[in-house]
Structure 1
Amino acid sequence: MRPGRVRNNGGAAGVGTVVDILESVVIGAGQAGLSASYHLRRLGIRHLVLDADERPGGAWQHRWDALTMVDVHGVAELPGSQPPPRTAARANRVVPAYFGSYEREHALPVLRPVSVHTVTDEDGILVVHAAQGEWRTRTLVNATGTWTRPFLPHHPGRESFLGEQLHTVDYPGPDHFRGKRVLVVGGGASAVQFLGALAPITDTLWVTRREPVWRDDEFTPEAGAAAVALVEQRVAQGLPPQSVVSVTGLMLRPQEQEAARLGAYAARRPMFERIEPDGVRWADGTFERVDVILWATGFRPAIAHLAPLRLRSASGGIRLDRGGRGTTAVADPRVQLVGYGPSASTIGANRAGRTAATGVRRYLQEVRPADGLRLAS
């Protein structure tokens, strides 16, 4: 079956079709999913990639128009390719074009649009359920990322606010905010970038739960490895993962220096106590009028569809093998998670894709040898 067409691989909706058990199914065609598919193909593992979007590009196609390739932290090259150049071109066009070209060049078996809503176990076979059909598979690589799970914290009075409230996923670009007083909530890289773009053109106010941790030293590979190790520790304990950025500290890029000169970062305030119709109020009674609340409060892993497999630990996260450095779910070795925890970055996603493919092969060879599978070495 050629990529891009949806076929039912068994189940009630598949009238007249023959049940076909795949060796693996990848859910998601972002950086992690494409990397996993590339390595699965190299290993000779018969699989499909199910992607919810109409077009290639993963979450990149949904980012704001003002985000250029210069603005992003960097896009690591997919395995066996060269990364797109860092130019002033729009990231939401460049990266999707890169992903689409990669899918075609390597003949990756991507089916779209397929919106997976749940994965169940039927007599030892995983069944992937979607509005478009069902697919039966021996193993699963979950690469659904976080973009579809924006985190919006509850705050007293939030529903009473008469101004505009936007999350990072809704960010329309800086021009939308001209002439408005904007409250940016969040202590991560997105908040820093928003302030960098907005402070030179409008009035801003910055609020975070904790004092921001800045770094002005060079971010070396050793520093990156140390940051990833902290995220791995949480995953190894079965805790919900934190982003790698949350433990690296914040750095100002050249394009954010003007906002720094204007005092946008120095004027940071602690979290307010409640939201009122025309602004926010702190515990000490002080009040600030704002027109817009921009919630740069991050995302959570999009893994609700895996709930029937009971992968979560008592601590709320999914434990991965190798002390959190691997991709295999400890609770079910048929399931690999990429773009989760320590691999939630473009570089980490590539490495995780290879690790996941190896984990799939290991399961197929060691756990299901009686099926007579013939996999490439």
Structure 2
Amino acid sequence: MRLDTRVIIIGGGQAGLATAFYLRRAGLTPGEDFAVLDAGAEPGGSWPHMWEGLRLFSPATYSSLPGWMMPAWDESRLGFPPRTHVVDYLTRYEARYDLHVLRPHRVTSVARADDDPEGPMTVAAGEVTAAARFVVSATGTWDRPFWPAYPGMREFRGRQLHAAQYQAPGELAGRRVVVVGGGNSAAQILAEVSRVAETTWVTVRPPGFLPDDVDGRVLFATARARIRALSEGHEHSGVAGLGDIVMVPSVVDARERGVLEPHPMFTRLTPTGVAWADGTERAADAVIWCTGFRPALRHLTGLRLHGEAGRVEVGGPSGTRVRREPRLYLVGYGDWVGPASATLAGVGPSARDTANDIMARL
């Protein structure tokens, strides 16, 4: 299939949908003036692949994309919305605005059609080839889980899995499990696994816990204030330690049960467990690496975009335009391309500014 359009958006998750919304609102027609290519077989971006017990750490009304608020969820009885509620919302959002997402089409490369700096960009996705004036990469990070390297990983005879592979605590019932990581994912996974298994929590540095009454509402307000301050040219530090752990009910419960006790990071794995520099060892049947993700940008490798610091530099009016290839934009990869842009509530401003920048250049 051949597509010739004005804009190609790569990725049909929250960042791609938000960008598509703003392009549509600016007057472009989905499926004609712009196309969205998504690698997934179903709507929802990375959310359908996350672990079953994952919950947001803010109410539905504070976890919405531009244009349509996430439907209400009974937080008083059920806690904050689960991932299934988010998947349903993103599915309905895509249909509500008739965004014509084409799937499953995994983009493998983006290239310059010729030497003309104002010429089209070409996009390859299996049997789909596309040409467009501008390309927006909104592929997120889920496809690139980060695995740190520790001595003994190959010799460990137990199971090792990344948070991206973990699904439910039942698969680890009765096992001795080491959970690695000091962020929200580690804390939430530890909380549920500790109900069915013997757990040990290890972190590179002591984790920080936000006060019990601070949840996504406070973080949302702070992120918005930071976005506004930066847009006006003012400094704003945001929340000190935005990676700090939000005390959602399951994590509070884990604290009450005494399992939310971090240990220093081990120095190596052994065939039967983990070991520290002082000679202490602990037996383990499984290690869950909650060690984060990296931007999924392999499809851009051929463009040679990395600067001296090893990162793709962005700027322009939107803050998302790639400096070494101004026809390309990066949306939704975190503070690097826009404050809080890797979140449902925070991606809107980056998506809006990107759409405005594109429209001004069409």
Structure with the largest fraction of helix: 1
Letter in 1 for 2:246: M
Report how far residue 288 of structure 1 moved.
0.4
Aligned-residue CA RMSD (Å): 2.6
Aligned partner (choices 268, 278, 282) of residue 284 of structure 1: 278
Q: Structure 2 matches for 1:247-258, cutoff 5 A?
A: 247-258=242-253
TM-score of the two chains, using structure 1 as the length reference: 0.81
Matched, 1:274 2:268: yes
Q: Distance in 2 between matches of 1:60 and 1:220?
A: 21
Bigger mean CA offset, 75-84 vs 120-129? 75-84
Where does residue 89 of structure 2 map in the other structure?
Answer: 98
Tell me which amino acid in the other structure corresponds to 2:70: P
1:158 maps to 2:153: yes
Mapped partners of 1:322, 1:361: distance in 2: 14
Quote how far apart the aligned CAs of 1:100 are.
2.3
Q: Do residues 40 (structure 1) and 19 (structure 2) align?
A: no
Q: 2:346 aligns with which of 319, 328, 348?
A: 348
Offset of residue 209 of structure 1: 1.0
Name the CA distance, whole Å, in 2 between partners of 1:136 and 1:356.
Answer: 19
Q: Distance in 1 between matches of 2:345 and 2:221?
A: 14
Give the SS at the match of 2:91. helix
Question: Aligned pair 1:299/2:293, yes or no?
Answer: yes
Please say if residues 57 and 246 of structure 2, whose CA atoms lie closer than 8 Å, have aligned partners that are also in contact.
no
Please identify, of 158-167 and 308-317, the stretch whose mean Cα deviation from structure 2 is larger.
308-317
Shift of 1:91: 3.8
Contact 2:73-2:81 at 8 Å conserved across structures? no
Structure 1 residue 202 displacement after superposition: 2.4
Cα deviation 1:256-290 (Å, max 9, x = unaligned): 22311233223x12211111111011111110001
Structure 1 residues 178, 228: CA separation in 2 closer, same or farther (over 3 Å shift)? farther
Shift of 1:119: 0.3
* Counterpart amino acid of residue 133 in structure 2: R
Which stretch has the larger CA shift, 112-121 or 200-209?
200-209
Gaps of 5+ in 2: 232-238, 336-340
> Which residue of structure 2 lines up, in the alignment, with residue 56 of structure 1?
43
SS at match of 1:356: helix
Describe the SS at the equivalent of 1:94.
helix
CA contact (8 A) 1:52 1:113 kept: yes
Q: Is the 8 A contact 2:220 2:345 kept in 1?
A: no
More displaced stretch, 204-213 vs 96-105: 96-105
Task: In structure 2, give the amino acid aligned to 1:66.
Answer: G
Alpha carbons of structure 1 residues 341 and 172: separation in structure 2 relative to 1, 3 Å: closer
Following TM superposition, by how much is the alpha carbon of 1:197 offset from its aligned partner in structure 2, in angstroms?
Answer: 1.4
- On the 8 A contact 2:56/2:83 being kept in 1, the answer is no
| Counterpart mapping for 1:196-235 below 5 A | 196-216=191-211, 218=214, 219=218, 223-224=222-223
The question of whether the paired residues in 1 share the 8 Å contact of 2:137 and 2:330 is answered with yes
- Name the structure 1 match of 2:322: 329
* Structure 1 residue identity aligned to 2:135: L
Percent of paired sites with the same residue: 38
Q: What is the identity, as a one-letter code, of the residue corresponding to 1:29? A: G
Provide the rounded CA distance (Å) in 1 between the counterparts of 2:25 and 2:227. Answer: 27
Structure 1, unaligned runs of 5 or more: 1-6, 10-19, 233-243, 365-377
Q: Which residue of 1 aligns with 2:175?
A: 180
Q: Distance in 1 between matches of 2:134 and 2:181?
A: 37
Counterpart of 2:141, as a letter, is: T
* Contact 1:329–1:337, Cα closer than 8 Å, also in 2: yes
Q: Alpha carbons of 1:103 and 1:296: their partners in 2 closer, same or farther (altered >3 Å)?
A: same
Cα distance in 1 for residues equivalent to 2:247 and 2:89:
28
Q: In 2, are the aligned partners of 1:125 and 1:136 still within 8 Å (CA)? A: yes
Deviations 1:66-107 (A, max 9, x none): 33xxx2224622222120333559844333332222222211
Q: Could you tell me which residue of structure 2 aligns to residue 357 of structure 1?
A: 355
Per-residue deviation, 1:31: 0.8
Shift of 1:309: 2.0
Q: Is the 8 A contact 2:184 2:243 kept in 1?
A: no
Pick closer, same or farther for the CA change 1:345–1:91 going to 2, 3 Å: same
1:24 maps to which residue? 7
Shift of 1:312: 1.8
Shift, 1:221, TM fit: 5.0
> Distance in 2 between the 1:127 and 1:163 partners?
45
Aligned to 2:154, the other structure's residue is in SS state helix
How far apart are 1:330 and its partner, in Å? Answer: 2.1
Corresponding residue for residue 314 of structure 1: 308
Q: Aligned partners of 1:299, 1:335: CA distance in 2, in Å?
A: 22
The letter of the residue matching 2:157 is: L
Q: CA deviation at 1:319?
A: 1.9
Judge conservation of contact 2:9–2:37 (CA < 8 Å) in 1: yes
Measure how far apart 1:116 and its partner are: 0.4
